[in-house]
């Protein structure tokens, strides 16, 4: 059997691979979005931390592919005392699981979508605002 990819040596994308894809999506953003995105921390973990899931009322860690942790620009004040950098979290295993289940999208496109979705929260957009311009599920 002649396979198009040599799967005998293939390994799943690791955290560094997912981060590289997200950074490429960041680099492709138009200004001024790119500058704001570059100021955020980016963390890639296999799954969301238990306290994140608890705060969101999510039991299954495969249900959360990304999270924005910070104060949206529309709510920031000079009086705010930063507790740490605003952060976009990407959850590798949940992203890979969605990618496998969908089977209709490139991994880079999915990672970019999750990254940009979380970045939109940084700009103060609600999930409804994002859905109005990005009908991802269709």
- Residue 91, preceding peptide bond in cis (omega within 30° of 0): no
In contact, 21 and 99? CB cutoff 8 Å: no
Which residue do the tokens 């605003």 mark?
86
pLDDT (0 to 100) of residue 78: 67
Asked whether residue 63 carries a pLDDT value surpassing 70, the answer given is yes
Task: Tally Cβ neighbours within 10 Å of residue 130.
Answer: 18
Angle between helix axes 107-122 and 92-102 (nearest 10 degrees) is 130
HEC string of 9-61? Answer: CCCCCCHHHHHHHHHHHHHCCCCCHHHHHHCCEEEEECCCCHHHHHHHCCCCH
| Topology of domain 15-72+84-133, CATH | Zincin-like (3.30.2010)
15-36 confidence digits (pLDDT tens): 999 999 999 999 988 887 888 8
Domain residue spans of the chain: 15-72+84-133
């Amino acid at each position: 059997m002649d396979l198009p990819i040599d799967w005998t040596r293939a390994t799943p994308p690791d955290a560094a691979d997912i981060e590289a894809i997200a950074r490429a999506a960041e680099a492709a953003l138009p200004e001024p979005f790119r500058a704001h995105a570059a100021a955020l921390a980016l963390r890639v973990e296999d799954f969301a931390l238990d306290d994140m899931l608890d705060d969101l009322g999510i039991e299954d860690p495969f249900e959360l592919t990304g999270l924005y942790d910070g104060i949206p620009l529309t709510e920031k004040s000079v009086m705010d005392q930063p507790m740490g950098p605003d952060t976009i979290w990407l959850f590798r295993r949940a992203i890979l699981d969605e990618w496998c289940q969908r089977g209709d999208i490139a991994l880079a496109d999915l990672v970019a979508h999750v990254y940009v979705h979380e970045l939109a929260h940084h700009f103060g957009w609600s999930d409804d605002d994002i859905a109005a311009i990005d009908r991802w599920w269709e």
